[in-house]
Amino acid sequence: MRKLSHGEILDQRLTPEDAVKSNRHPISLMLENVRSLYNVGSIFRTADSALAAELILCGFTPHPPRKEIEKTALGAVDSVPWRYEENIEDAIRAEQAKGIKVLAVELTDEHRAYDSISFEEYPICLVVGNELTGLDDKTIALCDDAVEIPMYGVKHSLNVSIATGIALFEAVRLWKGFEK
């Protein structure tokens, strides 16, 4: 067993032009009032790796062009379809009007697990919230459902970019299973 060389990895990957046009996974991400430029940049990079359909930045979430985002995103700002929507309520209703199921990623009293998404629910949009306060209650109420990453430790919270990565890659993993 040996690590792949840089050249072998380059051979496998998409060009930015292919990535924007390619058959992306039916999973988009929506961010509500994420404050940190570095978290936004990191989420761009994760969305690229997962071939997420789209990244929708809402409220006071910073958006490109910002050099701190681009530095952390390592080029993913050009390969991930994204847009800025000031009003998250409008953004959620627009996704729903397109037939996309909108799922809050949040700890709620329903405790539905993040690995319980069924084939029929796709396409989906995962909504994640602010670093300190999570999603607004009003936003959760607009979503079609909520899923949570189980928390086993002392702090009961993850960095928002980590939580997004875990939820997004699980949604992709489930989707790839349905494709088989």
Q: Where do contacts with a copy of itself occur on this chain (CB under 8 A)?
A: 1-4, 8-10, 12-16, 18-19, 25, 42, 45-51, 72, 74-76, 79-80, 106-110, 115, 134-135, 137, 140-141, 145-146, 149-159, 161-163, 165-166, 169-170, 172-173, 176
* 49 vs 47: CA distance, rounded Å: 6
- Minimum Å distance from CB 64 to a copy of itself? 16
3-state SS assignment for residue 57: strand
Q: Which amino acid is at 103?
A: L
Q: With H, G, I as helix, E, B as strand and everything else as coil, classify residue 167.
A: helix
Rounded least distance, CB 1 to a copy of itself, Å? 5
Extended strands (E) in 111-161: 124-128, 145-147
DSSP string, 78-105: HHS-EEEES-HHHHHHHHHHTTPEEEEE
To a copy of itself, the closest distance from the beta carbon of 98 in angstroms equals 22
In this structure, are residues 27 and 52 in contact, taking their beta carbons and an 8 Å threshold?
A: yes
Q: What's the CA gap between 86 and 155, in Å, rounded? A: 31
We find the least distance from the C-beta atom of residue 97 to a copy of itself, in angstroms, to be: 21
Q: Toward a copy of itself, which CB reaches closer, 2 or 99?
A: 2
- Least Å distance, CB 22 to a copy of itself, is 9
Q: Which is nearer to a copy of itself, 94 or 115 (CB)?
A: 115
In degrees, rounded to 5, the angle at the alpha carbon of residue 89 between the alpha carbons of residues 85 and 92 is 80
